Chain A
Amino acid sequence: MRPLEDELRAALRRHEPPARLAEKVFAALRAEPPTEAFQKRRASRAVHVFRWVAAALATCAIAVALVVQRQREDRRREEACREALLALRIARREVNQALQVALQAGYLGPSAVQIKSSINAKEQP
């Protein structure tokens, strides 16, 4: 007689199950509602798609916001430029008028006349 352990190995050899075990498992699977794991897989796929769509939408929204912001800043800068030029023009006219009054009153000498004529020359392009 072989040692007990060898006899046990021979006695407890693996057996093939009755035929069509796989088919029976599939039949049982089809008989029951979709499994929790399947529902989880489907839900996680939906979440995955949703994440991609949300990321794409967020990227678009950020890009549009950046463009709009840039355009607003450009407009504001042009406006400020125009206002500054207008202010300078008004200031020059005021100074010019003051010089005129001073000349007529005889408060200024010949050098002031030269200054005024040079201003007038610059005003006429």
Chain B
Amino acid sequence: MNDGHESICDQDATFEETIRRHQAMVFSVAYHFLRNVAAAEEVAQDVFLELYRHYGCIRSPQHLLFWLRKVAVHRSLDYLRRQPPSGVSLDELAELGANPTAEDPWLSAKLRQLVSTLPPKPRMVVILRFQEDLELAEIAETLDLPVNTVKSSLRRALAVLEAKLTRCLGEVKK
């Protein structure tokens, strides 16, 4: 192992702790956006590799969280841009009933599926709003969009989701 790799080992402990603390957030942003475990894992790995390269630029825990969220969002958008469009992965089917805390697993799965049908930017707005509980201004900053655009995207996305969900529930009742 050369000198560079020994030094990498020296700072492994804190970096590993950072990964463990934030991996769920990074992975979930990518997973809810891409709806594919392997793709989300690849994006998460890329995000943490990128973090390693820029570790010296991180100024505070808040900055770290903002940085990770922003890079995770943009890497996910880039990943989607590179991939040809595809249907829902089998991962989503395996996930049904896997989350014991969800009150209605069918509804949660249906909503995730409906969210995945949204265009990329509104989809990311919804994910940041409801997964990360971010305010509109924070979403705007993360996505480099005006706050009003984020606000209207969210309103439209919720309307679309509500309409689609109502239609699905109607079909189920029939």
Contact = CB atoms under 8 A, between A and B. Distances in A.
Interface of A: 1-2, 4-5, 7-18, 21-22, 24-26, 28-30, 33-42
7 contacts: A10-B108, A11-B102, A12-B115, A13-B99, A22-B16, A22-B19, A38-B8
B170 to A, nearest CB: 13
B174 interface: no
B102 A13 contact: yes
A16 B24 contact: yes
B94 to A, nearest CB: 12
Contact of A25 (B7, B19, B31, B130): B19
B158 interface: yes
Q: How extensive is the interface on chain B, given as a class?
A: 35 or more
B131 interface: yes
B161 A8 contact: yes
Nearest to B109: A11
B53 A35 contact: yes
A4 B27 contact: no
A24 B45 contact: yes
Contacts of B37: 18
Chain B contact residues: helix, strand, loop or mixed:
helix
B44 interface: yes
Specify the main secondary structure of chain A where it touches its partner.
Answer: helix
Nearest to A44: B56
Contact of B165 (A4, A26, A28, A37): A4
Contact of B131 (A12, A18, A26, A30): A12
Contact of B25 (A9, A14, A21, A26): A14
- Most chain A CB within 10 A, of B44, B104, B130, is at B130
Contact of B44 (A21, A36, A38): A21
B5 interface: yes
Given A18-B37, A22-B23, A10 B49 contact: no
Given A21-B19, A22-B16, A35-B52, A14 B131 contact: yes
B31 A15 contact: yes
A79 to B, nearest CB: 59
Contacts of B56: 37, 40-41
B7 A38 contact: yes
Interface string B87-114: 0000000000001011110011101100
B91 to A, nearest CB: 10
